[in-house]
């Protein structure tokens, strides 16, 4: 069996037919997607699990918001009073799991005044920390009451 095109078919014509078919298919998919978007489902495929999850989350959040408006504050107070462990768990779930810390230039990105303020804050912190452990005795140095004796000359 030969895979060679028959002599009466132009290879360029076959290529252009493939492109035309692809274009028609692409256009029909775009039209179907537009119809789905108008129907309230903007997913490419109705069975798209990611989009389904997005829609479910959006609907759930909307209904939870509606329920909260009706009696949420009272329910939260009741849970806080009667079941503090569950209340605390809900609070923890609201906090993001990871906190992203971004470094922005460090000392190089600070102005001179910001650097001075930071140094003063660190010195104050260290002084407070050292003050907790050590007692400071304040006073002034006085000259001795009796002058020191003159050195004796060695006897020979």
Residue 76 lies in a domain: yes
User: Each residue of 109-127: b (16+ CB within 10 Å) or e?
Assistant: eeeeeeeeeeeeeeeeeee
In terms of residue numbers, what domain contains 15? Answer: 11-42
Of the residues 58, 77, 95, which one is the last residue of a structural domain? 95
CB atoms within 10 A of CB 36: 15
Residue 15 lies in a domain: yes
- Examine the domain organization and report whether 35 and 67 are in the same domain: no
Predicted confidence at residue 82, as pLDDT, reads: 92
Say how many Å lie between the first and final Cα of the chain, rounded. Answer: 132
Residue 108 lies in a domain: no
Predicted confidence at residue 2, as pLDDT, reads: 47
Domain count across the chain: 2
Can you tell me the distance from the alpha carbon of 82 to that of 69, in angstroms, rounded to the nearest whole number? 21
pTM to 2 decimal places: 0.29
Can you tell me the distance from the alpha carbon of 43 to that of 32, in angstroms, rounded to the nearest whole number? 10
Residue 75 lies in a domain: yes
Residue 1 lies in a domain: no
CA angle 96, 106, 129 (to 5 degrees): 80
Q: Which residues of the chain have pLDDT under 50?
A: 1-2
Predicted confidence at residue 1, as pLDDT, reads: 45
The string of pLDDT tens digits covering residues 26-57 is 777 777 776 666 655 555 555 677 777 888 88
Look at phi and psi of residue 23 and say left if phi exceeds 0, alpha if psi is from -120 to 50, else beta: alpha
Predicted confidence at residue 138, as pLDDT, reads: 75
- Examine the domain organization and report whether 56 and 29 are in the same domain: no
Can you tell me the distance from the alpha carbon of 28 to that of 145, in angstroms, rounded to the nearest whole number? 108
Q: 87, 80 in Cβ contact below 8 A?
A: yes
Residue 130 lies in a domain: no
In terms of residues, how long is the chain?
156
Q: Which two tokens stand for residue 111?
A: 């102005």
């Amino acid at each position: 069996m030969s895979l060679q095109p028959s002599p009466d078919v132009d290879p360029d014509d076959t290529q252009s037919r493939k492109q035309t078919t692809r274009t028609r298919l692409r256009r029909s998919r775009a039209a179907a997607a537009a119809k789905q978007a108008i129907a309230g489902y903007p997913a490419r495929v109705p069975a798209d699990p990611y989009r389904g999850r997005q829609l479910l989350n959006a609907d759930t959040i909307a209904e939870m918001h509606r329920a909260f408006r009706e009696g949420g504050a009272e329910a939260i107070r009741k849970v806080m009073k009667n079941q503090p462990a569950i209340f605390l768990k809900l609070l923890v779930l609201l906090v993001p799991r990871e906190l992203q810390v971004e470094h922005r230039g460090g000392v190089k990105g600070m102005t001179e005044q910001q650097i001075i303020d930071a140094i003063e804050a660190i010195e104050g912190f260290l002084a407070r920390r050292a003050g907790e452990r050590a007692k400071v005795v304040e006073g002034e140095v006085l000259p001795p009451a009796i002058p020191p004796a003159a050195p004796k000359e060695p006897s020979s």
